[in-house]
Each structure stands twice: as C-alpha cells, then as structure tokens.
C-alpha cells in the first residue's frame, strides 16, 4: 500500500495490517552534489518526529527507513544484492531481530545501509542524558525524534535518537561515524523519503511520521525543529487498554478465587493420586510408535531442556540437542511440541505417521522415539545432524566464518534432495506431498548428505486420486484441507488461489530451492521479493551468470 496523509496532517506509512509495505517520497528530487563537475556530497540535515504503534505490548515489526534514492519508489528495486549500479542509502529504524537469514543481528536498533538490507554498521537505540546512557524503545507508540546530520567536509555522519518531549536535546549522538562510502552512492539529484513494513501476526505495527524537515547545502545546514504540541498525534493504541466497573472488578475477583481453589484441588489430586498414563483420542486411531522413552531420560539428556541446548525453533515447538551417553553416535535432537496448541497436536500426529510410513536415506534417520509426560509435553527424538540446515550453510555460516559451499557440494546436495522427493512422489504405495520444501527444512549430515526433515505438514494421497478430493490419513479418508500452508517465497503461485497442494507444487518449491542453492540468495530475504523473477531479470538481459553466488566463484 502507499502511505497516506490523515485529515489532521499526520503521515501514516503503514497501518497495523500484517505484511504491508508503505513508501512516500518528496515529489521533487533534491540536489545532493555541489555541482555536476564537483562530485563532493553536500552537507545535509534532517529532523524526523515519528511514532511506531504496535498491535500489542509485544514487539512490533519490522520498522521504517529514511531513504535517499534515485527513484521515488523502491518497493520493487532489489537493493539487497549490493549492486553498485543501485544508488540507495538508508538509515533504518528496526524493532525486531531481522529477517530469517539474519541480516539484522539485533532488534530495536538503528543501522546505516548502502545498497543493501544488511547494515554496514548499527547500534541499539539509546541516548545520553547528562552523560548517562539510557536505552529507548522505538515501538511504544510515544513520539520519538531522530536527527541525522552529514558533514560534507569531514564525511562524518551523526545520528541522534531520543524522546521527542526531551529538552534540551542530547549533545552526544548515539552513532558518529565517517561514511566515505556515501560518495559512491549519492547522485547529483536524489529523492528523499521513507519506506516502512509491518510484520506477521502479533508483530505488526503502524508507522507514523508526525513531523519532518530536510535541509542540504552550505557549511552547516539546519533542519527546522518542531514544537511537539503543534504536531498531529497518532491514534492511541487501545488494543490492550480497557476499563472495568466496580461490579465487573468484583465479579473478576470472585471468579479468580473460585479458579484458584479449583486449581489447588487439581494439584492436590495429581500429587497424591498416582495417575496412570492414559491414551489420548489420536492414539486410539493410530498405531503406537516403535519405541517410547521415559521423560526423565530426555530431561537428563538435554540438561533439563536448557536454553544452552536449543538448536532451533519453529511454529510448533523447540528443538534441543541431547546426549544419551558420551558417545558421539548417541547425540540426539529432541523436538518439544508447543503445549496447548491444537495445531501442534495435529502436526505431532502427522509426524509420528511419517516415522512409520517413510524410510529413505534422504530422509532424517530418526530414532522413532516418542514420550509424553502426563499428556502435557509431547516429544519427538531424531538423530542429531551435526552440520545443521542447508539454510545456515548457504547464508549464516559464510558471513560468520567465511566458509562457502563449493559447486560440487551444492550439486550433490541438489541431487540428494531430488532423490528424496522422487521417493515421496513416485516410489511408495501412496503419494506423499511434502508441502513445505525450503532450505531450513533440509538438514546436512557429517558426510554432506541432505536429509528432508520436519514432516509435520505432509499429506498422503492414493495414487490415481485428485488432491482436492481425497486425503488418506491413518487408514481413514478425510476431506481435503483448504488452509494455505507453506513458506512465502517457496510456495507455488496456484496455492494462493485454489489451496490444493500437489506433487507439482512440491516440484515448484524444489525449483525455487535450486535457484537459492545456485545464487546464494534467500527467497525470504524481504517482503514481496520473488527469487524466480529476480533470476529472470538476469536471464532476460543475457547476464544469467551474474546471478551465480559470487562467494562460490572466489574459491
């Protein structure tokens, strides 16, 4: 969506709807070089008063940027490939910890970006008050002021962020860094404006610009300052505020007291009355797993499910690394299903079914071990895969260690994934639709062999049937699911219209994964980014080799 100006003059970049982008730029380009012959970047100064209003007390997402660009709309321009032909400079104000591939290493930060979503440098939001450092949260809904000053003579950029009501303003900036790289970005005339993006679900935020001034040229350009009382204010976030009458408060207290008594009786009953393990509804209709472990074995193996043992997390639970003994062969990964989630129970059952039905060298060699503790904690145990996910090997590991997968290794991994997918689609008694093929669901073992993991979303169909008419599950026939599942960026386009997964939609996702393996670019790097479209742009201009992962070429 485009940004909108409210009746009171308030500029709204985005509302609180999830997965929304808003952009706005000043209608005329501003001069930022001294002259056509003199390529020195002019000094400039901007003052921004803004507010970020989250949908709840939880983190908002993702944030907004102050941007200089050669075009007045950068929604569809790929500024993330560090192409020197792009001319985009941005100061980003982020409220959550970056994207899936880890571009932003911290949440609630300010970063400076050159032709990339990855910040050249960044820092947590703070300000100095009487030389005392104080942290500042961006997503409280309160007015915040940001001063950005660039000195063309010293090439020094100062960024100061503080509460708009604070007087006098801090003398010491939160970021003060020379930015000689800016001279390679800035053109003679550029557009000045803002971009913003909301997050998913509870992490969505509305972004407002209450006041903005910009000045460039001269020795010390000064942007106009604002009186906070004269600025339009954003609407109050009432999503979590409510008032109660005295009768309502009394009723709440009474209900709470009865509830506490009931809970106390339940605790007494379960402590002093030994409860045998009972079968749940799903266990009656499905065969038991090959083996069950005692809960305390897994508790001990993971050091009490310690945070230090966490190796991954997802929508349905957290994965811990465990040790059944000192032997490396007894290293395990324990998936702890999110408690109280009906969807989690359904995916738990689906994954148990997959353990018994599927057996292939390109699938995880799981131990087939399941245990529940008093029907509350549901656990699945797998072999520990030491090299982690393909996603981390393609994106995180090269940035952290400089280690890059060779083309031979990538090619072997791609063939291995294809072999596993062929087994699911063609070599079993029934057709297995994986439904969520992506780099983070492919694990790489010590011999660099790929293993397909996380089968919580799989579906099984009889051969000859249509996916939109019959679903076979646990020996019973169910109506098809119409809920769209999968990961944006990898999903086939037709799923958004008919919602019916098929082997063809799996193959499409595998095709996107192939492009990711070759290019080293994540399909989920930012909202509305489409990797196939990005690759086709190179193909159409006869520059397809320029889309290959450059880090691989440097080996």
Query: Binding site for ATP: which residues?
Result: 336
If DSSP states are collapsed to H, E and C, what string results for 179-238?
CHHHHHCCCCEEEEEEEEEECCHHHCEEEEEEEEEEEECCCCCCCCCCCHHHCCCCCCCC
Task: Report DSSP state, residue 41.
Answer: B
Task: Report DSSP state, residue 362.
Answer: T
> Which amino acids are annotated catalytic?
436
Task: Report DSSP state, residue 92.
Answer: E
* Cβ neighbours, 10 Å, residue 28: 9
Residue with tokens 């057709």: 431
Q: Exposed, middle or buried by CB within 10 Å (0-12, 13-18, 19+), for 64? A: buried
Task: Give the Cα separation of 221 and 219 in Å (integer).
Answer: 6
- The tokens describing 480, both together, are 């098809």
Residue with tokens 């145990």: 381
Helices vs. strands in the chain: H and E counts, helices first: 11, 28
431 Cβ neighbours under 8 A, 6+ residues apart:
424, 425, 460, 461, 462, 463, 503
- The tokens describing 84, both together, are 């020197």
Rg of the chain over all Cα atoms, to the nearest angstrom: 27
* Beta bridge pairs of residue 121: 112
Task: Give the Cα separation of 293 and 280 in Å (integer).
Answer: 17
Strand ranges inside 285-427, DSSP E: 291-292, 310-314, 317-323, 331-337, 369-373, 377-383
Backbone torsions φ then ψ of 330, nearest 5 degrees: -100, 20
- The tokens describing 421, both together, are 């997918």
């Amino acid at each position: 969506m485009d940004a909108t100006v409210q009746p009171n003059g308030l500029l709204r970049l985005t509302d609180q709807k999830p997965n929304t982008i808003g952009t706005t730029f000043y209608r005329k380009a501003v001069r930022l070089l001294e002259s056509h012959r003199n390529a020195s970047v002019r000094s400039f100064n901007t003052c921004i008063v803004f507010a970020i209003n989250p949908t709840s007390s939880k983190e908002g997402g993702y944030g907004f940027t102050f941007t200089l660009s050669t075009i007045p709309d950068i929604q569809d321009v790929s500024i993330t490939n560090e192409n020197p032909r792009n001319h985009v400079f941005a100061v980003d104000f982020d409220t959550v910890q970056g994207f899936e591939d880890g571009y932003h290493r911290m949440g609630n930060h300010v970063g400076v970006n050159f032709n990339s979503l990855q910040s050249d440098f960044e820092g947590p939001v703070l300000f100095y008050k009487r030389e005392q450092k104080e942290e500042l949260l961006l997503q409280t809904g309160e007015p915040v002021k940001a001063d950005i000053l660039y000195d063309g003579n010293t090439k020094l950029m100062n960024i100061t962020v503080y509460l708009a009501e604070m007087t006098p303003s801090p003398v010491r900036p939160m970021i003060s860094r020379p930015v000689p790289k800016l001279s390679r970005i800035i053109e003679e005339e550029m557009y000045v404006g803002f971009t913003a993006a909301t997050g998913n679900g509870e992490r969505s935020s509305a972004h407002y610009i209450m006041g903005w001034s910009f000045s460039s040229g001269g020795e010390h350009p000064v942007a106009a300052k604002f009186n906070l009382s004269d600025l339009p204010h954003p609407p109050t976030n009432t999503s979590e505020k409510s008032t109660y009458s005295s009768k309502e408060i009394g009723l709440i207290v009474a209900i709470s007291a009865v509830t506490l008594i009931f809970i106390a009786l339940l605790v007494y009953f379960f402590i002093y009355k030994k409860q045998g393990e009972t079968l749940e509804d799903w266990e009656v209709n499905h065969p038991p797993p090959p083996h069950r472990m005692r809960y305390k074995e897994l508790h001990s193996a993971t050091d009490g499910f310690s945070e230090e043992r966490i190796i991954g997390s997802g929508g349905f639970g957290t994965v811990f690394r465990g040790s059944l003994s000192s032997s490396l062969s007894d290293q395990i990964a324990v998936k702890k299903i999110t408690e109280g989630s009906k969807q989690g129970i359904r995916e738990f059952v689906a994954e148990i079914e997959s353990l018994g039905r599927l057996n292939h060298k390109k699938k995880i060699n799981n131990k087939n071990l399941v245990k529940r503790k008093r029907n509350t904690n549901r656990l699945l145990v797998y072999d520990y895969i030491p090299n982690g996910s393909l996603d981390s090997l393609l994106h995180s590991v090269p940035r952290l260690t400089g280690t890059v997968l060779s083309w031979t290794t990538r090619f072997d991994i791609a063939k291995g994934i294809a072999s596993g997918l062929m087994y699911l689609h063609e070599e079993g008694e029934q057709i297995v639709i994986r439904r969520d093929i992506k780099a983070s669901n492919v694990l790489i073992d010590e011999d660099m062999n790929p293993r397909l993991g996380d089968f919580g979303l799989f579906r099984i169909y009889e051969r000859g049937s249509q996916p939109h008419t019959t679903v076979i599950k646990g020996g019973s026939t169910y109506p098809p699911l119409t809920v769209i599942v999968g990961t944006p960026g990898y999903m086939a386009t037709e799923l958004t219209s008919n919602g019916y997964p098929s082997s063809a939609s799996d193959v499409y996702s595998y095709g996107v994964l192939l492009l990711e393996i070759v290019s080293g670019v994540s399909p989920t790097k930012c909202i509305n980014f489409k990797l196939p479209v990005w690759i086709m742009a190179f193909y159409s201009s006869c520059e397809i080799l320029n889309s290959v992962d450059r880090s691989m070429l440097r080996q």
